[in-house]
A and B are shown apart, each in its own frame.
Chain A
Amino acid sequence: DAGVIQSPRHEVTEMGQEVTLRCKPISGHDYLFWYRQTMMRGLELLIYFNNNVPIDDSGMPEDRFSAKMPNASFSTLKIQPSEPRDSAVYFCASSMDRPTDTQYFGPGTRLTVL
């Protein structure tokens, strides 16, 4: 299996622009997670899905952030409008049967908002 796939790997944008991050989980995994990692705040869980349904989005920082999972093999995290403080590495992870099973992380998207 190719593992969790994320795109783009790097994104540089200007403040106010819309940013869309993409993730393809490991096939057969029921759970998908979006994390954000910064030096200041460490690793934060933003939202997670079970069988394409959002279960907990309490970590989404603001209404500017939204996430969707239209099918079992694709998810997006959108930031609109983007701000410099959104600059971070965004990771997608997936797990098989339970949210507490081993989570397999994608390579991450490094977002820079100027």
Chain B
Amino acid sequence: ELKVEQNPLFLSMQEGKNYTIYCNYSTTSDRLYWYRQDPGKSLESLFVLLSNGAVKQEGRLMASLDTKARLSTLHITAAVHDLSATYFCAAAHLYNQFYFGTGTSLTVIP
């Protein structure tokens, strides 16, 4: 079974600061997803990373993938309050299921 670990679990950061969320997975994965969940809401897909060295950016969020290190990062640049949410990574192996991380609860403080 593919195990996925995220850290930190909780992150409180000031507006305007930068920070990185880490996602480690235990065995070979063909693709890595990042999802966002607002309180009381559903999960929304943010990024899918398909190959080693892949980088995707959307606004203040940038995700990257290092398959050799089995590591994905979600970098937050100049955080704003609207980014407060829980962020999940999910690793998947071709023709198999997703394995979700525990989630990182991000709070951006004015």
Contact = CB atoms under 8 A, between A and B. Distances in A.
- Are A and B bound to each other? yes
Interface of A: 33, 42-43, 45, 48, 56, 91, 93, 98-100, 102-108
Interface of B: 30-31, 33, 41-45, 48, 88, 92-98, 100, 102-103
Contacts of A107: 41-42
A33 to B, nearest CB: 8
B97 A45 contact: yes
A107 B38 CA distance: 11
Contacts of A42: 100, 102-103
Contact of A98 (B42, B44, B95, B102): B95
Contacts of A105: 42-44
A45 B98 contact: yes
Contact of B31 (A43, A48, A93, A100): A100
A91 B88 contact: no
Contacts of B92: 99-100
Contact of B96 (A93, A100, A103): A100
A100 B30 contact: yes
The 5 closest A-B pairs by CB, nearest first: A100-B92, A105-B43, A105-B42, A43-B100, A107-B42
Given A99-B97, A100-B92, A100-B98, A91 B43 contact: yes
10 contacts: A42-B102, A91-B43, A98-B95, A99-B92, A99-B98, A100-B95, A100-B96, A102-B33, A103-B45, A105-B44
Contacts of A99: 92, 95-98
Contact of B97 (A56, A91, A108): A56
Contacts of A48: 97
B42 A106 contact: yes
Given A100-B92, A100-B97, A102-B45, 12 more contacts: A42-B103, A43-B43, A45-B97, A48-B97, A91-B43, A98-B94, A99-B92, A100-B31, A102-B33, A103-B33, A107-B41, A107-B42
Nearest to A100: B92
Contacts of B42: 91, 105-108
